[in-house]
């Protein structure tokens, strides 16, 4: 899947209330906006917005080691993982788009 990657991050620590450890890796991509029109709200999109996709451990390592200049257009590979009882798409790696 070809995407415009804006950046990535890893956030880990211990939950304040639960005391449980967490480790989240995320990829930020540019995505088209969708117009919304309801009785109470109208959204008129112009340009792109940021969308977030989960990253696998190996995917994050690849981004971290690649030392890319952002934003960058990449061909990302996705898989499906089950997290908290639901299937979610996860980026597992990428190839740089040919010039």
* Domain boundaries of the chain, sorted by first residue: 2-12+20-96
CA distance 41 to 83: 33
Percent of the chain with pLDDT over 90: 91
pLDDT at 94: 96
pLDDT at 84: 84
Q: H-type helices in 12-82, by residue range?
A: 57-66
pLDDT in tens, 29-76: 999 999 999 999 999 999 999 999 999 999 999 999 999 999 999 999
| Predicted TM-score (pTM) above 0.75 | yes
Average pLDDT of the chain? 94
96, pLDDT greater than 90: no
């Amino acid at each position: 899947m070809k995407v415009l990657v804006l950046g990535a991050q890893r956030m880990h620590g211990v939950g304040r209330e639960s005391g449980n450890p967490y480790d989240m890796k995320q990829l930020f991509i540019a995505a088209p906006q969708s117009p919304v029109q309801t009785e109470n709200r109208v959204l008129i999109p112009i340009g792109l917005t940021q969308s977030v996709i989960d990253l696998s451990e190996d995917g994050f390592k690849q981004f971290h080691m690649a030392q890319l200049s952002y934003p960058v257009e990449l061909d990302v590979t996705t898989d499906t993982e089950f997290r908290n009882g639901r299937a979610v798409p996860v980026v597992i790696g990428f190839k740089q788009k040919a010039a």
